[in-house]
A and B are shown apart, each in its own frame.
Chain A
């Protein structure tokens, strides 16, 4: 059967479509530009599929309600931008510690503080990783097009459910507000992952017990007949707090390794003309669109330039970057900030290639010509 479900929509609208297709049935949030359309779209669509939307009193409450809902077994999401993302941080850490699957969309906007509310930025890369306190793994995904906003939202839910962890959809205003025609796939075309539920009865349920050879405990919803305790404190397999160095070490290490041991399953990226590239342009999200056209223009001029676009920003695609850095003479990182992801590239490359940075903090996008002239300058 031919699917003609082609629609012209914004990236933000595609996030809502993708989320509902992935099974999102709860949204709790607080409106903020440039993410507002995600709240509006969720408010409109969720009750039509039996889901719930609530506009909370602030972003902290939005994050909290999202976690509470996820704990009853539903797939839950919240969306925000800059200042709201800062407010959500404490509870994002809670979701990581208590292993509550949920999706947090951050349509990045210019900052610091209220900055330029309607202007694009990619200034929250490090906040996505280090925003809350303590050590914990982070999964953050950055789409580059409206179609990808749909697909990657589905993926964000799948990863959240599979690894029982909050997943950050790191959008930017460019992708959030850009309009493109996309084909909405049929439900049958989508791979949907649901959290693993416990087998057996409630009596001997240990909420945080991990089966031999696995790293993610199955999760019962509150109300399913498995009574258990959930806390942000260090807890044992039963979920109850314990003040023990050994338990703390075991728990925090498992939280880390459940992601680290599955990097190949989580990390995705796009490559263009990388086979013989002497210069590699690294960029992501909305900026990658300029990078792609700059790299194409450079190729037309006969320059050996390639593009590497991390789609998974965290965990950082270390292996892939290390590999091309061995061959490339230079790497140009283009991003809408003063220098954030470039730090990761530098850390991974460890001097085996020259690194250049194109950063912008004036609220405007980086143009293809700006990237092209940098390519011509360094080649």
Chain B
């Protein structure tokens, strides 16, 4: 606690998301010495500095590649990655899809604030088309990634989305992600009143949270709604929960072939 006050702005959603992860770890009763939290660079990626585990703050975009080394070298560690939308899907996009494809047993939580927070509000791969960033002064013409769809298509076996407003649900999603034996990705929709909010006239942190409350629809509920009813809404909840061979176990089988023969 001597690391407080934290570096985040008043109203930032990252603290709520971090707390959800800590709560999920506690609920699962994991051994702190066996938990390793890895992050890249960005506002979100400073979270591990406030958490009492083995914590690794890496280079921008590379958290998953570092985490892959940690996990493969020492599979008994519960490896959890905290990353931003830019960190995970722009500079780190290649590592993300390949971690999904390998189905290595790592749980990644993407703190998505739809902007580059740490560098002061430039557009990110999740900034909606037409919105503003300091590097999109005339409106963003990029088309945004849908992170869960990307992860599911690349082979992640557990995929979900929660928000800072729906914090209790997020805890459950993170718990399930950690329990999944394979690559899990949970998008946590965050709140950045300082840059994304102000640039795009989204109001205060409270206004943004209210917006999350009013526009998020659980996938299960959404199944019963018409396209018109879903217009302008976004989905939360569990999108994919599948099984596939896990990378470190498959590698162990190769090792066993040589060590068990003798």
Contact = CB atoms under 8 A, between A and B. Distances in A.
A295 B62 CA distance: 48
Contacts of A90: 59
Contact of B65 (A47, A64, A221, A232): A64
Contacts of A115: none
A67 B69 contact: yes
B251 interface: yes
B57 A64 contact: no
A223 B36 contact: yes
B49 interface: yes
B187 to A, nearest CB: 21
Interface stretch (B173-181, B199-207, B252-260): B252-260
Interface in A17-60: 25-26, 28, 47-48, 50, 52, 54, 56-58, 60
Interface string B223-260: 00000000000000000000000000001001101110
B95 A68 contact: no
B52 interface: yes
A91 interface: yes
Interface stretch (B10-18, B71-79, B126-134, B135-143): B71-79
Given A227-B53, A229-B48, A61 B95 contact: yes
Nearest to A235: B57
B70 A68 contact: yes
Contact of B98 (A57, A69, A221, A222): A57
Given A68-B38, A72-B74, A227 B69 contact: no
Contact of A54 (B32, B53, B72, B77): B72
A240 B68 contact: no
A263 to B, nearest CB: 29
B169 interface: no
B67 interface: yes
Contact of A74 (B38, B55, B57, B73): B73
B73 A52 contact: yes
B73 A68 contact: yes
Interface string B30-64: 00111010100000000011001111111100100
Nearest to A68: B69
A324 interface: no
Report the contact-size class of chain A (Cβ under 8 Å from the partner).
35 or more
A232 B258 contact: no
Interface string B105-130: 00000000000000000000000000
A54 B33 contact: no
Judged by DSSP, the binding face of A is mixed
A72 B70 contact: yes
Contacts of A67: 58, 66, 69
Contacts of A94: 58-59
B58 A57 contact: no
Contacts of B54: 222-223, 227-228
Contacts of B69: 26, 28, 54, 64-71, 76
Given A47-B254, A48-B258, A223-B34, A58 B73 contact: no
Given A26-B69, A61-B98, A68-B65, A231 B57 contact: yes
Nearest to B56: A230
Contacts of B67: 68
Contacts of A47: 251, 254-255, 257-258
A126 to B, nearest CB: 22
A246 B254 CA distance: 50
A69 B56 contact: no
Interface centre among B53, B57, B71, B94 (most CB of A within 10 A): B57
Contact of B94 (A57, A231, A241): A57
B49 A71 contact: no
A73 B34 CA distance: 14
Interface string A213-244: 00000000111110111111100000011000
B90 to A, nearest CB: 14
B83 to A, nearest CB: 13
Nearest to A229: B55
B76 A26 contact: no
Contacts of A56: 65, 68, 98
A91 B74 contact: no
A240 to B, nearest CB: 6
15 contacts: A26-B69, A47-B255, A57-B65, A60-B65, A64-B62, A65-B72, A68-B56, A68-B65, A68-B69, A69-B72, A69-B74, A221-B74, A222-B54, A225-B33, A228-B55
Interface of B: 3, 32-34, 36, 38, 48-49, 52-59, 62, 65-74, 76-77, 94-95, 98, 251, 254-255, 257-259
Nearest 5 pairs of A and B residues by beta carbon? A68-B69, A65-B69, A64-B65, A69-B73, A61-B65
